[in-house]
């Protein structure tokens, strides 16, 4: 699949007669809220885990020196904590543009902190997108992040702001925090 997913996403959910949709954010969508929302609530989804396995040529890196950003990979029993936003369907025009480098909208079940549940959407960059980089050891990921910058700013800012936002949500994400530790060592 080509990296630009705008057209793919337009075909996926049509939103006919729908007033609002829950969106689950687990990466930059937690801390960079450049879209209007009707309601925001911490939430989790199960069966997925956050990984710095997606390449970023458009936001946090370049074609020659891609950065790394998070996507979700399937892991039975895993829980991924993030932020849910109830948005008007028109917001997806902006979000599809923002998430166009490989991310597709999938439906998922969100669990709020009150244990209430709702159906929602989540952007996931799957292994078959051409910007997918896949696994590497934590130190190599940190080194790549330290050396990448794109139109949205340094890749390290993406990592540090995500780690900060996850702490604020009370999340213990061993993968993100281990890479953050290596980044600090690398920069020291
Ligand atoms: C998300 O935050 O939910 C998707 C990945 C990203 O934009 O960082």
Q: Does residue 163 carry a pLDDT above 60? A: yes
Has residue 1 been placed in a domain?
A: no
Has residue 166 been placed in a domain?
A: yes
pLDDT of residue 2: 60
Has residue 74 been placed in a domain?
A: yes
pTM of this structure? 0.96
Greatest distance between any 2 Cα atoms in the chain: 54
Q: What is the rounded distance in angstroms from the CA atom of residue 169 to the CA atom of residue 163?
A: 10
39 is catalytic: no
pLDDT tens digits for 75-132?
999 999 999 999 999 999 999 999 999 999 999 999 999 999 999 999 999 999 999 9
Q: Does residue 73 carry a pLDDT above 90? A: yes
Q: How many angstroms separate the alpha carbon of residue 131 from the centre of ligand 1?
A: 14
For residue 1, what pLDDT band results from cuts at 50, 70 and 90? low
Q: Where are the beta strands (DSSP E) in the chain?
A: 21-25, 39-56, 67-87, 103-112, 117-125, 149-150, 153-154
Using CA atoms, how far residue 69 sits from 61, 118, 125, 157, 164, in Å, is 10, 26, 10, 11, 15
pLDDT tens digits for 38-49?
999 999 999 999
Mean pLDDT, the chain, whole residue set: 96
Q: What is the rounded distance in angstroms from the CA atom of residue 29 to the CA atom of residue 103?
A: 13
Domain with 175 in it: what CATH number? 3.10.490.10
pLDDT of residue 117: 98
Has residue 20 been placed in a domain?
A: yes
Is there a contact between 58 and 100 (Cβ–Cβ < 8 Å)? yes
Among the options 39, 99, 116, 157, which is catalytic? 99
Has residue 26 been placed in a domain?
A: yes
54 CA closest ligand 1 atom index: 5
pLDDT of residue 112: 98
The domain in which residue 36 lies consists of 6-187
Instruction: Name the DSSP letter for residue 79.
Output: E
Q: How many domains, in total, are found in the chain?
A: 1
Is there a contact between 138 and 182 (Cβ–Cβ < 8 Å)? yes
């Amino acid at each position: 699949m080509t990296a630009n997913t705008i057209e793919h996403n337009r075909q996926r959910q049509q939103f006919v007669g729908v007033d609002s949709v829950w969106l689950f954010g687990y990466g930059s969508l937690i801390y960079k809220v450049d879209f209007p929302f009707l309601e925001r609530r911490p939430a989790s989804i199960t069966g997925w885990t956050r990984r710095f396995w997606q390449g970023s040529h458009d936001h946090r890196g370049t074609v020659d020196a891609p950065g790394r950003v998070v996507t979700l990979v399937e892991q039975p029993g895993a829980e991924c904590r993030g932020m849910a936003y109830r948005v008007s369907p028109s917001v997806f025009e902006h979000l599809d543009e923002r998430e166009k480098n490989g991310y597709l909208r999938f439906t998922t079940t969100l669990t709020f902190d009150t244990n209430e549940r709702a159906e929602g959407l989540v952007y996931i960059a799957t292994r078959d997108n051409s910007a997918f980089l896949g696994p590497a050891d934590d130190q190599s990921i940190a080194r790549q992040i330290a050396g990448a910058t794109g139109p949205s700013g340094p890749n390290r800012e993406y990592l540090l702001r995500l780690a900060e936002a996850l702490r604020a949500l009370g999340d213990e994400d061993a993968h993100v925090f281990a890479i953050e530790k290596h980044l600090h060592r690398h920069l020291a």
